[in-house]
Structure 1
Amino acid sequence: MIRMVIADDETMTRMGLSQLAWEKEGFAVAGVAENGLEALELVRSAEPDLLLTDIRMPGLDGLALMEAAHREKPGLKVIFITAYHHMEYALQAIKLGALGFVLKPTDPDEILETCRNAKKRIEEERERKRAEEGLRGQLKEISLALQNKLVPEPEEAAPHGVVQDILADMAEQYASEITIEQMARKYHFHPDYLSRMFKRETGDHFSNTLARIRMQKAVELLADRRVKVYEISEKVGIRDTRYFGQLFKKRYGVTPGDFRKRLFAGQPETESEAEEA
């Protein structure tokens, strides 16, 4: 749900706005204010995503409210309600960062449509923020991978004996076809028994661990812009490029190509990347 605060000094307008079908549209009204000072307090206490406010109010007008609110919550989206003869304020508000405005007398359909557009913008920014947060962790993996290290999962702490040897084999031979049956023959165990032992000591299945190692190596290769994305699949031991892409997106939330674009965002495209595109 998108949290919103409504502010208007006119009682009838304020009541009408608060009674629109907000919940059906995916909004939760976190508070209603009758002046700018009340609205600012609600921004501080309710932490809304969207502020729908009259542009001319006593005490603290809409422009001053937006400026103060953005200091409290920089990502807050603001939509103004304004009379036609106050259009110059609305245009100034747009220049200062308002998302849009609606003219009085207010049309419920127009208000809802403007807020729907704001909702879409907020959701896109949320998704981008989640992706960026995920990339922070992935960049740590890159740093370690570039030092030829692997990032163990918490449950993989201190594997012993033959399982430790198998993990070393997997780290060295990840580009080859590796199966639990091969490891069982090499270390003279029954495959089922070895599979249970591996799961018990690492906390995860053999296939999941191998996929994780391969994905970490893929991250390392994506940091090398000389290697084309479609080449990385085979280099990490996955012959099916489509399956490789699915595994990568499942683990990191983005495709290998998008991961590289975000990693080198703002940097010029290389000749190899241009050819691949």
Structure 2
Amino acid sequence: MVTMVIADDEHITRLGLQSLDWESEGFRLTGLASSGSEALEMVRSQAPDLLLTDIRMPGVDGLSLMRTLNQENRPVKVVFITAYHQLDYALSAIELGAVGFVLKPTDPDEIMAACKKAKLQIEAERGQAAAEKDLRQQLKEYSLTLQGKMLPETECRNVVVAQMTDYLEAHYMEDVTIAKISAALHFHPDYLSRLFKKETGENFSDTLTRIRLQQAVEYLADPSVKVYEAAAKVGIRDARYFGQLFKKRYGLTPQEFRSQQPAGGEK
């Protein structure tokens, strides 16, 4: 559930925005603000995920509000409501990091679409943060194990590589990079790349591709899963590139591989 605050100085507009079916779309409305200063206090006290606000209000307007939020490092996403003649404000808002705009007169579908787009960003960042937290926790556990058992240096290196491999197998469908893992491990990415190659005989990127393609074979065995869907499920967004990688490894295109399966070809 994504929490949100709505801010608009017009009472009728606030009521209209409040009446939208937010809950069914995965939002929880936690506050209604009638001014920028009131919205600022709500964000400070409630820490919502999303702020839907008019860009121009008396006193503290939307831009001033967002500048303050940025200065205070508040992670809230901001969607602005603006009029056609306020496009210069919109350009400034983009520079400040706004994630969406809705033009007046407001349309409920457009408002919901802009907020749902912001919601996708919020959920994606949550997923990434959770994955990194999980990796840090696992590394902490490994570190405690190492301290307790006083493993030799060679075994220590092997544990790090094993942890990297475990992470790839658990997160191959995500945007996995050596830089992200190195940040969590507090090692330089070049060092981890060399260590991984030395211990496994395979490049980090080649290992990731191998794991992805092995999983793709399982998806392709199901005739209800289209080739581009199988590619996306294993973290490869470009179906054409996926086909090239698949043929390079298995000597067959995904379609040729599928045609040899008892279940038949792709629908």
Map Cα deviations across residues 44-63 of structure 1 (whole Å, 9 max, x no partner).
Answer: 22221100000000110101
In structure 1, the residue matched to 2:39 is 39
Map Cα deviations across residues 152-204 of structure 1 (whole Å, 9 max, x no partner).
Answer: xxxxxxxxxxxxxxxxxxx9xxxxxxxxxxxxxxxxxxxxxxxxxxxxxxxxx
Q: Which amino acid aligns with 1:220?
A: V
In structure 1, the residue matched to 2:181 is 263
In structure 1, the residue matched to 2:161 is 221
Cα distance, 1:39–1:141 mapped onto 2, change above 3 Å: same
Q: Does 1:106 align with 2:111?
A: no
In structure 1, the residue matched to 2:94 is 94
Instruction: Please state whether the residue corresponding to 1:264 is helix, strand or coil.
Output: helix
> Conserved in 2, the CA contact under 8 Å of 1:80 and 1:102?
yes
Q: Which amino acid aligns with 1:51?
A: L
How far off is 1:37 after superposition? 0.8
How far off is 1:126 after superposition? 1.1
Map Cα deviations across residues 207-266 of structure 1 (whole Å, 9 max, x no partner).
Answer: xxxxxxxxx997433368xxxx5xxxxxxxxxxxxxx899x74xxxx4699597742368
> Conserved in 2, the CA contact under 8 Å of 1:145 and 1:220?
no
Instruction: Please state whether the residue corresponding to 2:89 is helix, strand or coil.
Output: helix
Q: How does 1:74-223 map to 2 (within 5 A)?
A: 74-144=74-144, 149=149, 219-222=159-162
Counterpart Cα distance in 2 of 1:256 and 1:52: 32
Cα distance, 1:73–1:221 mapped onto 2, change above 3 Å: closer
> Conserved in 1, the CA contact under 8 Å of 2:9 and 2:57?
yes
Cα distance, 1:26–1:256 mapped onto 2, change above 3 Å: closer
> Conserved in 2, the CA contact under 8 Å of 1:222 and 1:256?
no
Cα distance, 1:219–1:138 mapped onto 2, change above 3 Å: farther
Q: For structure 1, which segment, 263-272 or 121-130, has the greater mean C-alpha deviation from structure 2 after superposition? A: 263-272
Counterpart Cα distance in 1 of 2:167 and 2:65: 47
> Conserved in 2, the CA contact under 8 Å of 1:3 and 1:30?
yes
Q: Which amino acid aligns with 2:141?
A: E
Counterpart Cα distance in 1 of 2:16 and 2:5: 14
In structure 2, the residue matched to 1:273 is 204
The runs of 5 or more residues in structure 2 that have no matched partner are 198-202, 210-267
Cα distance, 1:219–1:79 mapped onto 2, change above 3 Å: farther
Map Cα deviations across residues 70-111 of structure 1 (whole Å, 9 max, x no partner).
Answer: 344521000000001001111110111111111000011011
Counterpart Cα distance in 1 of 2:177 and 2:91: 38
Counterpart Cα distance in 1 of 2:134 and 2:167: 17
Q: For structure 1, which segment, 97-106 or 41-50, has the greater mean C-alpha deviation from structure 2 after superposition? A: 41-50
Instruction: Please state whether the residue corresponding to 2:63 is helix, strand or coil.
Output: helix
Counterpart Cα distance in 2 of 1:123 and 1:9: 29
Cα distance, 1:218–1:21 mapped onto 2, change above 3 Å: farther
The runs of 5 or more residues in structure 1 that have no matched partner are 151-170, 172-215, 230-243
Q: Who wins on radius of gyration, i.e. which is larger?
A: 1
Q: Does 1:54 align with 2:54?
A: yes
Q: For structure 1, which segment, 4-13 or 65-74, has the greater mean C-alpha deviation from structure 2 after superposition? A: 65-74
Q: Which amino acid aligns with 1:263?
A: I
Counterpart Cα distance in 2 of 1:95 and 1:22: 28
Aligned Cα RMSD in Å?
Answer: 3.3
Normalised by the length of structure 2, the TM-score is 0.61
Normalised by the length of structure 1, the TM-score is 0.59
How far off is 1:137 after superposition? 1.6
Q: Which amino acid aligns with 2:149?
A: K
Cα distance, 1:245–1:51 mapped onto 2, change above 3 Å: closer
How far off is 1:40 after superposition? 0.8
Cα distance, 1:260–1:56 mapped onto 2, change above 3 Å: closer
